[in-house]
Amino acid sequence: MDAKTQKSELTRAAIVGAGLDLAAEQGLEAITLQAVATRIGLSKSGVFSRIGSREALQKAVIEEFGRRFINDVFVPAMQKPKGLPRLLDIVDRWIVRLRDVEIHTGCLYTAGAFELDDREGELRDLLLGEVVRWRAALRRTVLQAVEAGHLKPDTDADQLVAEVNSLAIGLVHDSRFLRDTRAAERTQASWQRLIQSYLQPTQP
């Protein structure tokens, strides 16, 4: 990669990063080329030349959030054995990310869903696709735990995924809106009780 290309890539990363910050503070609709340009000291045309339209920038922000989320929560857990060890690691990492990152910045999967839930269009479709793919990956992990004999054979994977997702949304709500400093601790305790109800009893 030559110096010019490298600089262009770094500038694009800065643009998307500024867009993420705006989305965290004010929502996806707050992202505009001018607002991002002002944040990083570029002209509006300079932002446009590197990213394209406002909608392209909004899409890039959603995709970048998804990339960071997967890299923090899912990818490292793939080093764990399939089944319960991997599932536990994924959820633990999710809670840690919520506690250490999204308590302060907000969760785009959650806030964006509420912002776009009653709108149609490509932006909603993109965010929906990101969330659906994440839940599908979590569902596969649950099914692997069932196949490994770690969870009860009648486990409803969709139900468990929905329950875990509800815990995550509750953590964001309680930590950011209620400002409950023990929200992550409570979520971890709820997760432990939840997963215990799904565990396959050990045979005598």
Give ∠ CA 162-153-150 in degrees, rounded to 5. Answer: 85
Per-residue pLDDT at 4 exceeds 90: no
User: Do 8 and 84 reside in the same domain of the chain?
Assistant: no
Per-residue pLDDT at 10 exceeds 80: no
Radius of gyration of the chain (CA): 19
Domain count, the chain: 2
CATH number of the domain within which 150 lies: 1.10.357.10
Residues 161-183 have a mean pLDDT of 95
User: Do 45 and 60 reside in the same domain of the chain?
Assistant: no
108 inside domain: yes
What pLDDT does residue 8 have? 58
Cα separation, 144 vs 131, in Å, equals 20
What pLDDT does residue 201 have? 85
Give ∠ CA 108-111-112 in degrees, rounded to 5. Answer: 65
User: Do 190 and 150 reside in the same domain of the chain?
Assistant: yes
Q: Tell me: the pLDDT tens digits for 101-154?
A: 988 888 899 999 999 988 899 999 999 999 999 999 999 999 999 999 999 999
Name the pTM for this structure.
0.89
User: Do 47 and 73 reside in the same domain of the chain?
Assistant: no
User: Do 189 and 94 reside in the same domain of the chain?
Assistant: yes
Domain that holds residue 3: 1-52
Give ∠ CA 140-63-54 in degrees, rounded to 5. Answer: 150
- Residue where a domain terminates, one of 52, 76, 93: 52
User: Do 168 and 83 reside in the same domain of the chain?
Assistant: yes
